[in-house]
Each structure stands twice: as structure tokens, then as C-alpha cells.
Amino acid sequence: MTVTAQAIPMLSDNYSWLLIDSATGKTGIVDPAETRPAIAALEKLGLGLDYIFLTHHHPDHIGGVAKLVEMYHPKVVGNQADAHRLPKLDIPVHEGSLVDFGNARLRVIETPGHTLGHISYYIADGGILLPGDTLFSLGCGRLFEGSPAQMFNSIGKYGDLPDDTLVCAGHEYTSSNARFALTVEPENQALLDRARQVQILRGMGQPTLPVTLGEERATNPFIRAKDVETFARIRAAKDNS
Ligand code: ZN
Ligand code: FE
């Protein structure tokens, strides 16, 4: 594995992700909500910061960018189409863009739904998916701007990624997602097992992420929804839960 991803907890339930290309020592941070935890993580490892990768424009994903840019002068990567509401982009990207990151590359997947300009990143070398607020463990993002059909289609775009892909999502929502998922599939044994594991991890103050895409395929009601109608119904039920 060339690229590794490490969760940096921010705010009350956000995860920013520290990416390191072990071959070259290049570093990147995904969606820094805050500055201090990012600096602490970098300083602990004695690293600078080469890139910031943004999934969408919400304040809890970009709040730390300005200060980090001032301190480390990283290149900021984000969706070209959302440039008007993102921090200043050095590398504007779109569907299918490949961003060099040391010896590895990040592939951009446009995933509208949570916001219309939301993008995800996939790193084949390391098997890492950075879905931002599109996909969570046992859940998916709220539809602030997009339609259920758009979100269903966006999550479907992860369909060709391998089962052992590590899902490095933007929030620790897994406990409440598990409670809701169990109302959808109360007898799903994989989900029951995951819910118990999540309870133990959170009890110890540990993150429930990353989780594999294979595990999510067995447990996440939003991935398991067979059609848009089912997806829309589950999303509406979660909004009202
Ligand atoms: Zn968001
Ligand atoms: Fe968020």
C-alpha cells in the first residue's frame, strides 16, 4: 500500500483525513474543518502539508483551509463547478480528473446530492475512498441541494470499487445511523453484528471508520436500496426519525 489515510477528529463529529504517500512523503488533508487538530497531526509526524482536498463547500469541511494555506502553502483541490463557493482552488477538478499525489493518483468522482457540487476521491493505490458527506457508515448524507435520484446515482458510482476499499467518510454518525438502519432491516445479521461492534467502539471512544465498502454493502440500507423509490423512501424516513 502506498497511500495511507488517518482520521483526524474535528469539531463535534467531523473527520478530516490525513493522507500520506509513503513512497514520497507527500501529504494531503481532506476537508479540514479546523486548523489546530490538523497542525497537531502534522507536527506529531514532523510533516508539512502538500495538498488540501475538498469534497464540498460546507463550513464544517473548509473552515481550516485559509489558515493552513497561510502556514503550509499546500495546493488546494476542489470542484471547478463550485469554485465560487470554495476557498481559492489551485487545482480545479471535475468528473474523471486524476490528481497526482506523490507516486499515487486520486480519481475524482462527481457525487451530487448532499450538495450539487459535491465530489468524492478514490485512490486505487491504497484502496481509499473519500466520500465526504455522500456516504457514511450505515448511512448517507442529507439531501440539502440534490434529489433522491441524484444521490442514488452518486452512491451507485461507487459500485465498481473493490469490496476491500476503505471508506473514509466525513462524519462519525455511525451510532445513530445504526439505530435507524436496524428499523429498515431488523433481521440483517451483518447489520446486527456491526451495530454491536459500533457500540463497543464508541464506548471506548474509538472511531468506527474507516470501514470497508464490502461491509457497507452488507449493512448500509442506502447502498442496499434496489431502486430510487426505495432509496427516497428510506431517506425520507431517516430525515423524520
Ligand atoms: Zn456537508
Ligand atoms: Fe459535513
**Which ligand sits nearest to residue 58's alpha carbon?**
1
Q: Cell triple for residue 172?
A: 462519525
Whole-angstrom distance, CA of residue 109 vs CA of residue 122: 7
Instruction: Tell me the average pLDDT across 194-200.
Output: 98
171 a catalytic residue: yes
What is the Å distance from ligand 1's center to 32 Cα? 12
**Which ligand sits nearest to residue 111's alpha carbon?**
1
- What rounded mean pLDDT belongs to the chain? 98
Q: What is the pLDDT of residues 80-128, one digit of tens each?
A: 999 999 999 999 999 999 999 999 999 999 999 999 999 999 999 999 9
Q: How far is CA 210 from CA 169, 213, 221, in A?
A: 7, 9, 18
What is the Å distance from ligand 1's center to 26 Cα? 26
- The whole-number pLDDT of residue 241 equals 87
Catalytic entry in 31, 56, 82, 118: 56
Q: Cell triple for residue 12?
A: 463535534
pTM score over 0.85 = yes
The number of angstroms, rounded, from the C-alpha of 30 to the middle of its chain's C-alpha atoms is: 8
What is the Å distance from ligand 1's center to 21 Cα? 26
What is the Å distance from ligand 1's center to 118 Cα? 9
Whole-angstrom distance, CA of residue 159 vs CA of residue 125: 18
What is the Å distance from ligand 1's center to 171 Cα? 9
What is the Å distance from ligand 2's center to 23 Cα? 31
212 and 199 Cβ atoms separated by less than 8 Å: no
- The whole-number pLDDT of residue 33 equals 97
Catalytic entry in 58, 160, 164, 239: 58
Instruction: Tell me the average pLDDT across 173-181.
Output: 98
Give the position of cell 470497508.
Answer: 212
101 and 120 Cβ atoms separated by less than 8 Å: no
- The whole-number pLDDT of residue 236 equals 97
133 a catalytic residue: yes
Instruction: Tell me the average pLDDT across 177-201.
Output: 98
Domain ranges of the chain: 3-173
118 a catalytic residue: no
- The whole-number pLDDT of residue 68 equals 98
What is the Å distance from ligand 2's center to 187 Cα? 30
- The whole-number pLDDT of residue 1 equals 63
Q: What is the pLDDT of residues 23-69, one digit of tens each?
A: 999 999 999 999 999 999 999 999 999 999 999 999 999 999 999 99
Whole-angstrom distance, CA of residue 79 vs CA of residue 177: 28
Catalytic entry in 114, 160, 193, 239: 114
Catalytic entry in 31, 57, 118, 171: 171
Domain 3-173 matching CATH 3.40.50.300: the answer reads no
Whether the pLDDT of residue 233 is over 80: the answer is yes
